[in-house]
């Protein structure tokens, strides 16, 4: 039987109204806000590594490595099961297991320790990246992230890349004048900021014309580099070192222990590092391809290179060996010597300039030149187009002044195009050329 409903109860039901929106929102104000930077910077104990990490470190690791902790727990569980197999069988009333079964715990424990060590190294690398992200820099560019002159490394993510170099002031001065000044426009095309940290002086003489960043707190940067140099080599182990002996030649043996660099990508992850001075040409080719790049053949507003640079490309494309020999100075390049000492093969210019081997259709644009303060050395750069499909190379030539003429010391090229990582590096001097091929792309 249906329950009787009076008209009064129906009218009351019709007059019912939901609670006000303000009341509903007030009841939901207990929802937790998203994690803040102060929350992520706090330490949290990790059971697997038996040490504390920043919460940001554990969060970044868990988002990128979800299956690795599961493998570690599986290997640990198998180790305990194999090791106490007789006790477990006796407790559940099962027949005794094979006598060799406890020995299998040695193998599973080895797998557990291997996976645990890998995880700890990854966490250590992430911890250092988070440490570096809290450091501040003073940008010397006209436009910086957020319109502020001073900013943190963390705020550069998704906007700029970063290369930080720590070395004695004398070494940094040579790096800025010898590498950063000639490659200033190429670094900007790749959206790379460079911060130089002097390990033996608060300040050093800067080179005009570069947009290198300064450390806002030099002591904090030095402490960060000291920690990186004193720890194990997990930092930056996943990328190319991009190191170079250039700018690091000195009689002081202590320089080797006070010189280091690391490079960060758009995501703030380390992509290269070494306890030496970086080779920025290799970094541009291997880790930092350009973003806003017009490419060969596009109109550019660049200062012209040396006339000798045009003569070099004329001899290269036309196969003029006599002209090439007059352009080069009779000085062996140290980078070419290093390749030869390691067992590399040198192709002489007689082979490079053959009709079936020379780049007769090479198109060269966007020439640039940077002179040293003494006027006795110069560095030219250019963009080389090898075909009409957008494949371009970045070329760097180093010159010296001899007998009122510019003599070529070295010539080097790396691939330089958007979304293209360098698979090879070409180095040349007066003897010929050597080719370095990335082992991952062979």
Say how far apart CA 75 and CA 30 lie, in whole Å.
41
In this prediction, residue 15 carries a pLDDT of 52
What are 239's two structure tokens? Answer: 């990328």
In this prediction, residue 381 carries a pLDDT of 93
In this prediction, residue 22 carries a pLDDT of 44
Please tell me the number of Cα atoms within 13 Å of 420 on its side-chain side: 16
Q: Are 358 and 351 in contact (CB under 8 A)?
A: no
In this prediction, residue 12 carries a pLDDT of 45
Low-confidence ranges of the chain (pLDDT < 70): 1-38, 140-148, 202-209, 231-257, 292-305, 387-390, 420-423, 438-442
Q: Which of 307, 316, 313, 310 has its CA nearest to residue 355?
A: 316
388 phi/psi in degrees, rounded to 5: -100, 20
In this prediction, residue 286 carries a pLDDT of 85
Say how far apart CA 198 and CA 120 lie, in whole Å.
31
Global confidence as pTM: 0.74
Say how far apart CA 79 and CA 131 lie, in whole Å.
35
Say how far apart CA 214 and CA 332 lie, in whole Å.
35
Tell me how far the alpha carbon of residue 439 is from its chain's centroid. Answer: 18
In this prediction, residue 6 carries a pLDDT of 42
Say how far apart CA 334 and CA 347 lie, in whole Å.
16
Say how far apart CA 217 and CA 220 lie, in whole Å.
5
pLDDT tens digits, one per residue of 54-80: 888 888 888 888 888 889 999 999 999
Q: Which of 340, 156, 396, 178 has its CA nearest to residue 264?
A: 156
Q: Are 184 and 209 in contact (CB under 8 A)?
A: yes
Q: Are 244 and 334 in contact (CB under 8 A)?
A: no
Say how far apart CA 195 and CA 245 lie, in whole Å.
19
pLDDT tens digits, one per residue of 163-196: 999 999 889 988 998 899 999 989 988 899 999 9
């Amino acid at each position: 039987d249906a329950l009787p409903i009076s008209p009064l109860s129906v009218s009351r039901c019709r007059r019912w109204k939901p609670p006000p929106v303000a009341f509903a929102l007030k009841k939901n104000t207990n929802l937790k806000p998203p994690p803040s930077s102060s929350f992520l910077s706090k330490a949290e104990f990790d059971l697997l590594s038996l040490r504390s990490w920043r919460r940001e470190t554990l969060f970044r690791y868990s988002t990128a490595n979800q299956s690795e902790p599961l493998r570690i727990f599986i290997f640990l569980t198998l180790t305990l099961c194999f090791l106490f197999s007789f006790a477990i069988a006796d407790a559940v009333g099962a027949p005794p297991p094979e006598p060799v079964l406890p020995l299998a715990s040695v193998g599973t424990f080895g797998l557990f320790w291997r996976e645990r060590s890998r995880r700890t190294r990854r966490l250590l690398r992430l911890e250092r990246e988070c440490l570096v992200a809290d450091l501040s820099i003073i940008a010397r560019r006209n436009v910086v992230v957020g319109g502020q002159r001073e900013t943190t490394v963390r705020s550069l993510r998704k906007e700029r890349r970063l290369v930080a170099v720590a070395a004695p002031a004398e070494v940094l001065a040579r790096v800025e004048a010898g590498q950063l000044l000639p490659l200033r426009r190429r670094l900007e095309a790749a959206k790379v900021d460079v911060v130089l940290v002097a390990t033996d002086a608060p300040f050093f003489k800067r080179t005009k014309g570069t947009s290198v960043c300064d450390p806002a707190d030099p002591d904090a940067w030095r402490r960060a580099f000291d920690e990186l140099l004193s720890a194990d080599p997990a930092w930056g182990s996943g990328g190319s070192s991009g190191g170079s002996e250039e700018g690091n030649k000195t009689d002081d043996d202590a320089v080797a222990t006070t010189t280091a660099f690391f490079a960060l990508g758009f995501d703030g992850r380390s992509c290269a590092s070494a306890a030496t001075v970086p080779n920025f040409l290799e970094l541009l080719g291997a880790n930092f391809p350009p973003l806003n790049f017009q490419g060969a053949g596009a109109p550019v507003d660049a200062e012209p290179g040396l006339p000798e640079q045009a003569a070099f490309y004329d001899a290269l494309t036309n196969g003029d060996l006599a002209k090439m020999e007059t352009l080069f100075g009779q000085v062996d390049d140290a980078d070419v010597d290093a390749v030869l000492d390691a067992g590399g093969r040198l192709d002489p210019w007689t082979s490079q300039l053959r009709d079936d081997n020379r780049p007769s259709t090479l198109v060269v644009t966007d020439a640039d030149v940077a002179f040293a303060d003494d006027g006795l050395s110069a560095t030219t750069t250019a963009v080389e187009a090898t075909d009409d499909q957008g494949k371009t190379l970045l070329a760097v030539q180093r010159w010296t002044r001899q007998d009122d003429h510019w003599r070529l010391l070295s010539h080097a090229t790396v691939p330089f195009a958007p979304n293209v990582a360098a698979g090879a590096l070409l180095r040349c001097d007066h003897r010929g050329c050597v080719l370095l091929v990335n082992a991952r792309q062979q």
